[in-house]
Amino acid sequence: MKTKKSVPQRILAYIKGNPIVVILTIVCLIVGFNVENFFSWGNFNNLASNTAVRFLIALGVSGCLITKGTDLSAGRQVGLAACIAGVLLQRADYSGRMFPNMPEMNMWVVLLIVLIMGGCIGGINGLIISKLNVPPFIATLGTQTIVYGIALVFTDAQPIGGFQKSYTQFVNGKLFAVGNFPGFSFLLIIAMIFGFLFWFIYNKMTHGKYMYAIGGNEVAAEVSGVNTVASKILIYVTAGIMYALAGFLLAGKAGGATSALGNGYELEAIAGCTIGGVSTTGGIGTVSGILVGVLVFELLKIVLQFLGVNPYYNYIVQGLVIVVAVALDIRKYVAKK
Amino acid sequence: MSEFRLEMRGICKSFPGVKALDHAQLRLRPGTVHALMGENGAGKSTLMKCMFGIYKMDEGELYFEGKKVEIHDPMEALHMGIAMVHQELQPIPARTVGENIFLGRYPMKKLLGLIPTVDHKKMYDDTAELLKKVRMEFNPKQMLGELSVSQMQSVEIAKAVSANCKVLILDEPTSSLTHNEVEALFRIIEDLKADGVSIVYISHKMDEILRISDEVTIMRDGQYVGTWDAKGLTTDFIITKMVGRELTNLFPKRENVPGEVVFEVDNFTSINPKSFRNASFQLRKGEILGVGGLVGAQRTELMEGIFGIRSHSSGVIKYKGKELKINRPKDAIDQGIAMLTEDRRASGILGVLSIADNISVASLKQYLDYGFCINDKKVENLVQENVAKMNIKTPSSKTQIQSLSGGNQQKVLIGRWLANDPDVLILDEPTRGIDVGAKYEIYCIIADLAKQGKSIIMISSEMAELIGMSDRVMVMCDGKVTGFIDGKDASQENIMELATKFD
């Protein structure tokens, strides 16, 4: 029954299937040709590093969404990880140091600590959800508040600065800079590595297949021998690690952190996933889709910035994009009736 | 006015890749029961959904009481007097019976003469009245979720009746009903018929069709085959028309030879005092053990208990003399046991996932390269092997399983279990809701597996299937095993006797 489609037919089919991507590409082209510096390496690297961190968070939350769950604690976990990484990596000679007598710590050790902590918080989420059967929305709403509280207590709501040079330079580094070419931002490379890793897990490993199976029909998955409890815990642990990584990178990128960092990132990540075709009813979602979804958001922000729109309008436009994008996307499924 | 209450002419409807209806037609006379028959995938449900406005037909005309009409959505159909009881009931379990019946058209009153509010008293009074009309007795304020499936179905029918319908579509209404409940349904149908309602009755059960219908329309592959007066029709004739070929045997010849006892269940008891108690049985190598009993005999519960889906408080399972510890399905699967569950939708298919994902999910570990990377080629081979072996009709291995017909879904699920090469297969109602042709194919698969030396437990509510396929029949009643009958001696009478052996 399969028919080979010609190239123009396939292009047309893609346009029909991904209207939001097409619209945004056109907008970018228009802005690019009218506003100076839009098409520049500086802007590209800026966009890439912004997208990279958001993409890592979205990858983390995607497993939760595909298994019909969600993770509202994502943003606050990013914030907590940023604060902890920041505090542990303050320069020894910085006057506002939180622990003045602590020796300077190695960046990699701190990264490890932060990732383990993220995994633990994710593990707690997973246990609450799969062992105590608390709906993910409520469970992570609870941990969101708790994690924010911990960040406030830990930092006493004070901003953290004065990071070790090695940390900020590492995160803001560029790779493959040759001659006039400024190179790719380090964050972009990290995001690409993790994108590939997640693609591999989702498509080539039993864990990924089980994840889609749980999203498709949890009872059937359990009956088929999938250990759904272990799978779900692992998904939330992975998510926690991804948020922690994002927090570590964000703090280093900005050169400072506060307990408010990451506020609302979970919503951006969930919206990005949804725009990218991750089904809220479970079982559907691809890494490439998630990337597109996140990119749509970041591109939009930059376009608005280049057009000189008052940043407060960003929220209104982003909200509209979420609703319109998902409404358009869902038509694909509704129209099949 | 036309002699027909409703006429559908030249109905065509296509889905991506499939022509579901190809110039189908149907003519309903007032005050008759019209059976609509055909294999699964023949387009019966699609035709009804076109009539009811759930699907939009691509071509064709609809006449209601002689006038040409167009129905765009179920609301219009209901206003016109067409009501439908769906194959899969869609009630709201956490609301009362009354609210379910009057959902969307609550009787209203004006509070203080101006604020419109729901008139609960009238709603529940009317509900009580309606329930009496369908010969059912339960509290209109009871939560729907507390009712049994058959009671929910009665509520659905009451809902249809309350709309003063002129055409009532019943899509496989008896698939989950017990004998007595079927009788009750038939009395309701007789009442409605006497009131002049035209009833479209979709079912796979020949005896029911021959008993209650006045006319029979048969469809095949989305096309209209013909309409006959039900009087004088025979089962053979109907099956021949449905399948389009002669079916000489309903069951395949079995060549399996039961060997030594390999699987034993001893004194198995549920944690739930109302469920299975002290169940003991033995299963031989290469044997087909049928499990009979009425709905509520806890047959499914017992088997799900053995498979680790449900908990047990005491009892022993032995395989080849070794005691098995089974706490979850994974434990059972690791020991070479497989179970095809009763409810395909609820606990079988992974609806939005592909055939390939569905068929490989229980055996993924076999297709790994280097111990962690799934080899897609091996999975594809598995799919193609099963598609060829079991004659699964699907456009590709990437097709979503939910778009296949019931019979093909079932074959995919059987393939899922066979991939693990289990020694003991528990099949819970393996042919429920499956058409005659696919049924025969599934019987052949079962017979072949037994011949290969696999031990099979088959729960079935169809007498003919139990008698025709089993080497031995185990009968349960009210949570207990009440007896065993040799396959050769099994009859409807001796099975029923054991099935009704209440304390």
Interface of B with A in 391-410 (CB under 8 A): 395-396
Which phi-psi region, left, alpha or beta, contains residue B73 (left: φ > 0; alpha: ψ -120 to 50)?
beta
First to last CA, chain A: 20
3-state helix, strand, coil in chain A (%, to 5): 70, 5, 25
> Residue A209 has what pLDDT?
94
Dist. CA B341–CA A221, nearest whole Å: 12
Nearest residue on chain A to B18, alpha-carbon basis: A1
Element containing residue B459 per DSSP (H, E): strand B455-459
Nearest residue on chain A to B55, alpha-carbon basis: A337
Q: How far does the CA of residue B275 sit from the closest CA of chain A (Å)? A: 20
Q: Say whether residue A230 is in contact with chain B using an 8 A CB cutoff.
A: no
pLDDT score of B376 more than 80: yes
**Tokens in use for B213?**
């219908």
> Residue A148 has what pLDDT?
96
Dist. CA A252–CA A89, nearest whole Å: 9
Q: pLDDT-based confidence at B187, cuts 50/70/90?
A: confident
**Tokens in use for A280?**
């809220």
* Per-residue model confidence as pLDDT tens digits over B218-255: 998 888 999 999 888 888 888 788 877 655 567 888 88
Q: Say whether residue B347 is in contact with chain A using an 8 A CB cutoff.
A: yes
Q: How far does the CA of residue B428 sit from the closest CA of chain A (Å)? A: 13
Nearest residue on chain B to A206, alpha-carbon basis: B364
Nearest residue on chain A to B347, alpha-carbon basis: A220
Range B126-149 average pLDDT:
82
- Tell me if A206 and B333 make a contact (CB, 8 A cut-off): no
> Residue B1 has what pLDDT?
56
pLDDT score of B285 more than 80: yes
pLDDT score of A335 more than 60: no
Of B349, B357, B374, the CB nearest to A212: B357
Strand residues in B184-300 grouped as ranges (E): 198-202, 215-220, 223-229, 261-270, 279-284, 288-293
Dist. CA A221–CA A228, nearest whole Å: 7
The residue with greater pLDDT, A286 or A99, is: A286
ipTM comes to: 0.81
Range B126-155 average pLDDT:
82
The residue with greater pLDDT, A3 or A103, is: A103
Range B332-351 average pLDDT:
91
What residue segments make up the domains of chain A, in order of their start? 42-263
> Residue B346 has what pLDDT?
87
Q: Say whether residue A225 is in contact with chain B using an 8 A CB cutoff.
A: yes
Chain A positions touching B329 (Cβ under 8 A) are 222-225
Kindly report the pTM of this predicted structure: 0.78
Q: How many CA atoms lie within 13 A of A256 on its CB side?
A: 10
Dist. CA A136–CA A138, nearest whole Å: 5
Q: How far does the CA of residue B490 sit from the closest CA of chain A (Å)? A: 32
- Tell me if A2 and B349 make a contact (CB, 8 A cut-off): no
> Residue B248 has what pLDDT?
57
Counts for chain A of helices (H) and strands (E), in that order: 14, 2
Range A165-178 average pLDDT:
86
Best of A217, A279, A286 to substitute, by most chain B Cβ atoms within 10 angstroms, is: A217
**Inter-chain Cβ pairs, chain A and chain B, closer than 8 A:** 90
pLDDT score of B76 more than 80: yes
Q: How far does the CA of residue A170 sit from the closest CA of chain B (Å)? A: 32
Q: Using alpha carbons, list the distances in angstroms from residue A69 to A59, A72, B42.
A: 14, 10, 37
Q: pLDDT-based confidence at A5, cuts 50/70/90?
A: low
Range A200-208 average pLDDT:
94
pLDDT score of B19 more than 80: no
pLDDT score of A280 more than 90: no
pLDDT score of A1 more than 50: no
pLDDT score of B87 more than 70: no
Contact B295, B301 (CB under 8 A): no
- Going by DSSP bridges, is the β-strand pair B6-15/B59-64 parallel, antiparallel, or unpaired? antiparallel
Contact B61, B6 (CB under 8 A): no
Q: How far does the CA of residue B465 sit from the closest CA of chain A (Å)? A: 25
Element containing residue A247 per DSSP (H, E): helix A228-254
> Residue A337 has what pLDDT?
46
> Residue B164 has what pLDDT?
80
Q: Say whether residue A216 is in contact with chain B using an 8 A CB cutoff.
A: yes
Dist. CA B370–CA B362, nearest whole Å: 19
Q: Say whether residue A337 is in contact with chain B using an 8 A CB cutoff.
A: yes
Range B125-152 average pLDDT:
82
**Tokens in use for A117?**
């902590």
